[in-house]
Amino acid sequence: MAKKEYCGVFGIFDHELAVDLTYLGLYSLQHRGEESCGMAVFNGKKLRQLAGMGLVSEVFNQSTLKKLKGRTAIGHVRYSTTGSSILRNAQPFVISHNKISFSIAHNGNLTNTVKLRRKLEREGAIFQTTMDSEIVLHLLVRSQKKLFEDRLEDALRQCEGAYTMLFLNEEKLIGVRDPYGFRPLCLGKKDGKYVLASETCSLDLIDAEFVREIDPGEIVIVSKDGIEFRKPFEKQKPSPCIFELIYFARPDSHIFDDCVHLVRKRLGTMLAREHYTDADMVMSIPDSGNCAALGYSEECGIPFEIGMVRNHYIGRTFIQPSQEMRKHGVKIKLNPIKEVLKGKRVIVVEDSIVRGTTTGGRIKAIRDAGAKEIHMRISCPPIKFPCFYGIDFPNRKELIANQLESIDGIAKFIGVDSLKYLSLDGMLKAVNGCGRSFCDACFSGKYPTKIRKRAGKLALEK
Ligand code: 5GP
Ligand code: MG
């Protein structure tokens, strides 16, 4: 039972429209997870939760939203792969223990789950889900400290890996970013009330002002008394996930101190400098390749064209749980424009190749539409190493850059006339104007934290 969490979180404290704003916040984070979503709301007396499988627009409607009353809320959108696509894993979780009730929404993957869960189970803990987030709850209620935030610190000190988390109890909204800062979290203000969200695109949507990003290792506590920041953990080298910038975050978001769209454009610029080739047009595989393709085209002076149009009414193909479903997804998602492509020498810019399965289908479609030459350019290096921090590259064998010996081999497999990837150096230069550090383990194999033998696996798996 594989479990990868790639999610989005949103929370707001003491606002009369908390439920509606959380709904909107989740809408803007839908790209971070289409499998399930949910919301937990405090109505002054009780914490209530509503979660379900599917998109935000499917899980919530006028009448369910009306039932959720309260001024403080957290929400979650969730993406997962095969095995854990079940309702009981949908977040936020709400639990009651020893007269306290609280709720958690988690983005990221803990890497010492097996060890922690085994230990807790030996001590008698009963688990309801297959999620690592539940482990944090057990650790939290075991702490002997009095204050919730102190108990939380105790719990998190035992956790390794990636976590951006929101907690809601009867008095407080708490946000945490792990000491490495793998996943983003930002703080905003709406009508004088505090908001926490994975990405700033949520703040834009609800007209909230951006205050700042939460630092790696920082805990933010919002209560009736105001806002408090703590940095209780040992300082680590910041390692935000570079793949958030390359692919995952929305281009209109500002994360890790940068504008995602402009970072992607710079990646495209660097790609053109490293791998120029003569051609009639530059196109992207929409939407994820758009920004890099624009950067590429601007840099080399070959015009950008729309060679393919995306159907926006289906989800991300990657999210379909089985390989078979993924194949169907590709066919309905993108359609080439024959009149543009016929007889042309085309540079196709794409943000990344992971398994290589969807790319092959798209290239075939471009070829069938009449393109004479296809030169593919990828705005990151080959992905060779699994991610243990929440991105869905779990298995070395599944990554095409490991399956095939050479880049020429990959070019042949996906059916292009030439294939070039941005170099690791080029990527770091493009992303990192001012000496910041990132986690680039999926490209370099250099993991910022210790990776245990069964990292990323749950105790349930045998
Ligand atoms: P592949 O050819 O490897 O099957 O798919 C490559 C495509 O997947 C690219 O269009 C890229 O934008 C997209 N992609 C890369 N990483 C992810 C991810 O984590 N989730 C989803 N949904 N798509 C991804
Ligand atoms: Mg894409």
**b/e map of 251-269 (b: 16 or more CB within 10 Å)?**
bebbbbebbbbebbbbbbb
Asked whether the CA dihedral 114, 118, 121, 125 is positive or negative, the reply is negative
Among the listed residues 80, 81, 71, the one whose alpha carbon sits nearest the alpha carbon of residue 18: 71
* Spatial CB neighbours of 442, under 8 Å, sequence gap ≥ 6: 243, 383, 384, 385, 386, 387, 391, 393
Stated as kind and residue range, the H or E segment containing 173 is strand 173-177
Task: Please report, for residues 4, 57, 166, 181, the alpha-carbon distance to residue 177 in angstroms, rounded to integers and kept in the order given.
Answer: 18, 28, 9, 6
- The whole-angstrom separation of Cα 186 and Cα 214 is 5
From atom 21 of ligand 1, which residue's Cα is the shortest distance away? Answer: 318
Options 3.30.70.1450, 3.60.20.10, 3.90.1200.10, 3.40.50.720; CATH of 7-236: 3.60.20.10
Q: What is the pTM of this model?
A: 0.93
Looking up tokens 């070019």 gives: 411
**CB 350 near ligand 1, within 6 Å:** yes
C-beta of residue 375 within 8 angstroms of C-beta of residue 348? yes
* Spatial CB neighbours of 376, under 8 Å, sequence gap ≥ 6: 347, 348, 349, 350, 359, 363, 411, 414, 416, 418, 419, 420
- Tokens describing residue 346: 């085309």
Which atom of ligand 1 lies nearest, measured to the CA of 316? 22
pLDDT in tens, 71-86: 999 999 998 643 456 7
Which atom of ligand 1 lies nearest, measured to the CA of 353? 3
241 is catalytic: no
What residues does each domain of the chain span?
7-236, 259-310+318-435
Give pLDDT tens digits along the chain (462 positions).
234 457 999 999 999 999 999 999 999 999 999 889 999 999 999 999 999 998 999 999 999 999 999 999 999 999 864 345 677 778 899 988 888 889 999 988 888 988 999 999 999 999 888 888 889 999 999 999 999 999 999 999 999 999 999 999 989 999 999 999 999 999 999 999 999 999 999 999 999 999 999 999 999 999 999 999 999 999 999 999 999 999 999 999 999 999 999 999 999 999 999 999 999 999 999 999 999 999 999 999 999 999 999 988 765 444 555 666 655 656 678 899 999 999 999 999 999 999 998 899 999 999 999 999 999 999 999 999 999 898 877 688 889 999 887 999 999 999 999 999 999 999 999 998 667 899 999 999 999 998 876 665 543 332
CATH number attached to the domain at 259-310+318-435: 3.40.50.2020
**CB 285 near ligand 1, within 6 Å:** yes
Dihedral through CA 11, CA 13, CA 18, CA 24, nearest 10? -30
